[in-house]
Amino acid sequence: MFSKILIANRGEIACRVIRTARKMGIKTVAVYSDADTRALHVQQADEAVHIGPSPVGESYLRGDKIIAAALETGAQAIHPGYGFLSENPDFVDAVEAAGLTFIGPSGASIRAMGLKDAAKRLMEKAGVPVVPGYHGEDQGLVLLAGKAKEIGYPVLIKARAGGGGKGMRRVETAEEFAEAMAGARREAKAAFGDDSVLVEKYVDKPRHIEVQVFGDNHGNAVHLFERDCSAQRRHQKVIEEAPAPGMTREMRAAMTAAAVKAAKAIKYSGAGTIEFIVDASDGLKPDRFWFMEMNTRLQVEHPVTEMVTGVDLVEWQLRVAAGEALPKSQNQIALDGHAFEARIYAEDPAKGFLPATGTLHHLQFPPQDTELRVETGVRAGDVISPFYDPMIAKLVVHAGDRTAALQAMDAALAGTQIAGSVTNISFLAALARDADFAAGDVDTGLIGRKQDCLTVSAEPSEKIVALAALVASGARARSAGADPWDAISGYAHFHALARRARLKSGEAAIMAHVAPRADGRFEVSLGENGRTYVLAVPAAGGAADGIGVALWPGHATLFEGGQAYNFAISDPLAQAADAAGGDSMRAPMPGLVKLVRVTAGDAVLKGQPLLVLEAMKMEHTIAASHDGIVADIVAEGAQVTDGTVLVRFVEAEAA
Ligand code: ADP
Ligand code: ADP
Ligand code: MG
């Protein structure tokens, strides 16, 4: 076995590989770009090597730098993860030429399956059913249009070098064919540098069912059952599961046999996935599934297979790459229960799934155990940058049956709190609760058909708004046994106006009055004649009545049932200034005066920054509440408590 490996990837998959390597006593080397200097995978690895600037073309796709890093650190093998260089046969050749081991299939296997048209021709020859269509070399428009007519509309044009759902066009009629073809070619050329296409029959009521296969260098090949990845949005997987709902014994036997046949046809070694498209218009029928493509790597959704088989696929990858035989034979691999994986992305479902960026100011997952895995490459405070895939985490659950597993998924989603970037969690939760999805009646068009109701943005309840106003007001929880007025000492120095909280939910402005009660709780009344709520301040990062609360710069996010409600808080310091009014400005909270910008005697204008106060780990700029002349200002470095006078102005009459 290797004693040290390098992981040529980032994010959750790099962390995933490190975990198994550590379990097996293998040292790990991470590589990283500028943007990932402090990334989790770098921290978790035993060593890390910087390989270049943030854009992938200058770092994670630089095979030469990665190989140099492996040689330099004495790593014996390279794990490519998924994406990046994982399916690049030239990289495999270069790794081997450098005397290192590639943890994955041979360059020849990747080449054989790399182009969808050639792969289909190969599979056809091996006796594996392939999607009806044209996958020849001739790319003339007239010929292709003729083939489309023969195949019968609707057809799907696919880039032969395609991946990740890109370069595909569904065409309904012959009239639209030429234009769709031009579009598909442009997209394919731009994304893959290859504009060759294939044309396939668009399968009716399509389900995506794939089979996990594993081969070794001793001629063995097995399958580890199927995964259903039919919950897709624009040909991209959203929630995956194993086993496939409604799978019959006959259908499974036929599909897994075809998959093993495909792997054996190319003497496949390592982890691979044979993707099939299934016509489910009349249930699952053994003569209605066809080979689409093979992914010659570990798949994003591999954990669902691990959950139902108990096999650590990364461990198998390492063993096979080190020359060992497969740890188990086919009849030693059994299915147990049901598993789901949901992919949490930084994206905005309400805005057409626009990818988002941002700092994950608050990130909290439910506790992990044998039935719940959280696969992530980020921690609180990390940034989702525009450079890489915006996936934040994968939630993977396992239970005895599909219904129980789906409930566990729903609970796991509801127990996940992310603030600082918008996410697709509410969309995933809505999908998990959808009646057709729950019934296992899923085809690849389900999400598209129901997109409107799966992506409605929920409005916060009045109670949530009141709780947001309470935390936005700056009120703090009372520590046990303390004098209730201590807890609200900030208020003691304020005028009544200071108990006003102003915040925004989207474009809607919210005004609330917050008044302390003798029992340590607060009365929060909304607007002019809104209801009054009696609420306790949740402890930091805590929850009140099952509602989670996170405070982050300028915002509060409240969580309930898989929904995240964001509120922008009007600057509490501006409110403090309002409250102080007149001739002085007071500190609204305890803190450290980091920077003082003006001195006594300076004339200042309303809004001009006077000093910076560091409080609750954040910097707040205190700006002049009105025009005036500074009579007195605190010293830099001073520690102040709430209510301390920060600035005194020369009285207007005297000025
Ligand atoms: P899979 O086929 O494993 O389910 P997807 O279809 O979701 O993966 O991913 C589409 C493509 O994008 C795949 O080639 C995958 O390797 C790549 N990819 C997905 N996520 C990432 C990531 N975080 N980093 C790099 N590549 C990624
Ligand atoms: P990629 O390399 O982008 O993953 P695939 O060939 O695997 O491309 O197809 C991606 C998705 O597109 C499939 O999961 C499926 O939902 C859909 N798809 C592909 N081929 C067909 C087809 N012939 N009929 C219907 N849907 C298809
Ligand atoms: Mg695919």
Residue 552 — very low, low, confident or very high, per pLDDT cuts 50/70/90?
A: confident
Residue 493 — very low, low, confident or very high, per pLDDT cuts 50/70/90?
A: very low
Q: Are 392 and 345 in contact (CB under 8 A)?
A: yes
Q: Is the pLDDT of residue 537 over 90?
A: no
Is the bond leading into 154 cis (omega within 30 degrees of zero)?
Answer: yes
Q: Quick one: average pLDDT of 410-418?
A: 96
pLDDT digits (tens, 9 = 90+) for 182-204: 999 999 998 899 999 999 999 98
Considering the four listed CATH numbers 3.30.2130.30, 3.30.10.20, 3.30.470.20, 3.30.360.10, the one that applies to the domain covering 337-454 is 3.30.470.20
Q: Quick one: average pLDDT of 52-68?
A: 97
Q: Are 556 and 471 in contact (CB under 8 A)?
A: yes
pLDDT at position 579 is 46
pLDDT at position 613 is 83
What is the per-residue DSSP string for 19-53?
Answer: HHHHHTT-EEEEEEEGGGTT-HHHHHSSEEEEEE-
How do beta strands 555-560 and 563-569 pair?
antiparallel
Among all chains, which residue has been given the structure tokens 């399509």? 206
142: which residues sit within 8 A by CB, 6+ positions away? none
- According to CATH, the topology of domain 134-201 is Dna Ligase; domain 1 (3.30.1490)
Centre of ligand 2 to C-alpha 204, Å, is 12
To 10 degrees, the CA torsion angle through 126, 130, 133, 138? -40
pLDDT at position 491 is 44
Centre of ligand 1 to C-alpha 240, Å, is 14
Centre of ligand 2 to C-alpha 155, Å, is 12
How many Cα atoms sit within 13 Å of 218 on the Cβ side? Answer: 12
Give the residue, out of 300, 388, 394, with the most ligand 1 atoms within 8 A of its beta carbon, to mutate for a pocket test.
300
Q: Would you say domain 105-131+205-336 falls under CATH 3.40.50.970?
A: no
**Position with higher pLDDT, 207 vs 631:** 207
Q: Which has the minimum average pLDDT: 56-65, 471-480, 605-614?
A: 471-480
pLDDT at position 237 is 96
Distances in whole angstroms, Cα of residue 286 to Cα of each of 292, 338, 373: 16, 22, 33
Beta strands in 62-167 (DSSP E): 77-79, 101-102, 133-134, 155-159
Tokens of 282: 């009349």
pLDDT digits (tens, 9 = 90+) for 129-169: 999 999 999 999 999 999 999 999 999 999 999 988 888 99
Q: Which has the minimum average pLDDT: 133-142, 424-433, 577-586?
A: 577-586
Per the prediction, the chain carries an average pLDDT of 91
To 10 degrees, the CA torsion angle through 103, 107, 112, 113? 40
Q: Is the CB of 443 under 6 A from ligand 1?
A: no
pLDDT digits (tens, 9 = 90+) for 83-93: 999 999 999 99
598: which residues sit within 8 A by CB, 6+ positions away? 604, 608, 610, 611, 630, 633
Q: Are 604 and 629 in contact (CB under 8 A)?
A: yes
> Which numbered ligand comes closest to the C-alpha of 227?
1
Q: Is the pLDDT of residue 3 over 80?
A: yes
Distances in whole angstroms, Cα of residue 352 to Cα of each of 15, 347, 355, 358, 424: 30, 9, 9, 18, 11
Nearest CA to ligand 1 atom 16: 83
Nearest CA to 275 out of 234, 229, 306 is that of: 229
Centre of ligand 3 to C-alpha 532, Å, is 54
Ligand 2 is surrounded, with C-beta below 6 A, by: 131, 156, 158, 162-165, 200-203, 206, 208, 232, 235, 275, 277, 292-293, 444
Q: Quick one: average pLDDT of 317-345?
A: 98
Instruction: Name the strand (E) or helix (H) holding 93.
Output: helix 89-97
Burial annotation 233-259 (CB, 10 A radius, 16+ → b, else e): bebebbbbbbbbbbbeeebbebbbebb
Q: Is the CB of 82 under 6 A from ligand 1?
A: yes
Beta strands in 139-250 (DSSP E): 155-159, 168-171, 197-201, 206-215, 221-233, 236-242
Query: Residue ranges of the alpha helices (H) in 152-273?
Result: 177-192, 249-265
- Identify the burial level of 519 via C-beta atoms within 10 angstroms of its C-beta, where 0-12 means exposed, 13-18 middle and 19 or more buried: exposed
Q: Are 394 and 424 in contact (CB under 8 A)?
A: no
CATH architecture of 4-103: 3-Layer(aba) Sandwich (3.40)
pLDDT digits (tens, 9 = 90+) for 616-633: 666 778 888 888 899 889
Burial annotation 353-387 (CB, 10 A radius, 16+ → b, else e): beebebbbbbbebbeeeebbbbbbbbebebbbeeb
Task: Assign 3-class secondary structure to 477-499.
Answer: CCCCCCCHHHHCHHHHCCCHHHH
Q: Are 271 and 294 in contact (CB under 8 A)?
A: no
At what angle are helices 89-97 and 107-114 packed, to 10 degrees? 170
> Which numbered ligand comes closest to the C-alpha of 166?
2
pTM across the whole model:
0.85
**Position with higher pLDDT, 2 vs 507:** 2
Q: Are 78 and 53 in contact (CB under 8 A)?
A: no
90: which residues sit within 8 A by CB, 6+ positions away? 63, 107
Q: Return the CATH number of the domain spanning residue range 584-650.
A: 2.40.50.100
